[in-house]
Structure 1
Amino acid sequence: MKHARHLIAIVAAGMLATSAMAMTSAEHKAAKDQISADYKANKAKCDALTANAKDICMKEAKGAENVAKADLEARYKPSDKNTYKVAEARADADYAVAKEKCDDLSGDAKNVCQKDAKAAHVTAKENAKVARAQAKPADTAAKKEANVAEVKQEATAEMREAQYKAAKERCDTMSGDAKDKCVADAKRMYGQ
């Protein structure tokens, strides 16, 4: 929940900042060139690494580039859609890095790591959808509240499903009665 409030605050601050100061075409081009240069520099740093550390570094570099591009577009053409794309790019970048870090593991630990990464990804994306719904104007306050409530309900269902899958994967590392109890607890906890 703490992360959700933090994400909502960031998105709201981003929307306020982007609506106050749009960029010129020249500033946009210069910023795009800087993003490209930063990506190349970050990618070059990865060349010194090997194996999965290099793969993780490359995912981090690409993720940073994608987030920077989305942020640039949100500043250049401020809208709730572009602000949402920034949050989505962050979620996707974090997920790509987390999945890559799981490659250092094997067996059940790797499976659990991947499910946890997916649950975090789903949570971040759903929180971004809720923030977008809260920021989106509506004809009346009642319509806005109804839309936000609907988006929250859908987001909660998606997050619970992802969290349940991650919990179930952790249960799969157990056996016998412990596994059965773990699965039953996960079903109860995540309403499955």
Structure 2
Amino acid sequence: MSARAASPEAKAMYDNAKAAAATAYKAARERCDVITGNPKDVCIAEAKAARVRAEADAAARYRNTLRAYTQARIDIAKADYAVDRARCDALTGNDKDVCVERAKATRTAALADAKADRKVIEARSDAREDKRIAEYKVAAEKCDALAGTAKDQCVAAAKSQFGYEAAGPKLVPGHF
């Protein structure tokens, strides 16, 4: 995934998603106002989590980068943790302690998964790039057996096949 200039349509969709999340949050929050005690706290935390989820998903789709998707997962994990903690507040003693530890464990697992998935995706991307460079080197080496126009055409074809621009900077150390 790469950063690109967002289209006006994408920006509009993002803004609409944020507005819809705010509207949904306001409505959910109003429903919470008729509740009292811990159930109200849970209701408010759930409303906030729903807003965070909607806004984080919209931001990730709008930015369309690995970093944005990872950040969305982190934000959602933190919001879910807040909901879990609010639910734990209704308990007492050891039951509350166990609930809090379970909430922390769930948050830690979600954060670790988000970060690990990012690293896996980055590693796969790096591996694809390394393979592409290696395949280009093989194709370029085959061109060395040719001369003149045939060699130029062979090199141009290799550059095109492996995504290099013919007029770009030096492609691979030691070649051309």
TM range (shorter): 0.5 to 0.7
Aligned partners of 1:119, 1:89: CA distance in 2, in Å? Answer: 16
Asked whether the 8 Å contact 2:32–2:43 carries over to 1, the reply is yes
Instruction: Describe the superposition over 1:97-136 as per-residue Cα deviations: whole angstroms up to 9, x where unpaired.
Output: 1111111111111111111110111011101111111222
List alignment gaps of at least 5 residues for structure 2: 131-176
Give the alignment partner of residue 88 of structure 2, picking from 102, 105, 114.
102
Letter in 1 for 2:116: V
Q: TM-score, normalised by structure 2?
A: 0.64
The answer to whether the aligner puts 1:80 opposite 2:66 as a matched pair is yes
Over aligned residue pairs, what C-alpha RMSD do you find? 2.3
Give 1:41's aligned residue. 27
Q: Which has the higher contact order (CA 8 A, sep 6+)?
A: 1
Aligned partners of 1:129, 1:38: CA distance in 2, in Å? Answer: 29
The Cα of 1:138 is off from its aligned counterpart by 4.3
List alignment gaps of at least 5 residues for structure 1: 1-14, 144-192
CA radius of gyration, larger in: 2
Aligned partners of 1:54, 1:105: CA distance in 2, in Å? Answer: 15
Give 2:133's aligned residue. none
More helix by share: 1
Give the alignment partner of residue 140 of structure 1, picking from 119, 124, 127.
127
Give 1:166's aligned residue. none
Give 1:51's aligned residue. 37
Q: 134-143 or 47-56: which moved more?
A: 134-143
Instruction: Describe the superposition over 1:38-84 as per-residue Cα deviations: whole angstroms up to 9, x where unpaired.
Output: 11011111112110000000001111111111111111110011101
- SS of the residue corresponding to residue 126 of structure 2 reads coil
Aligned partners of 2:15, 2:89: CA distance in 1, in Å? Answer: 37
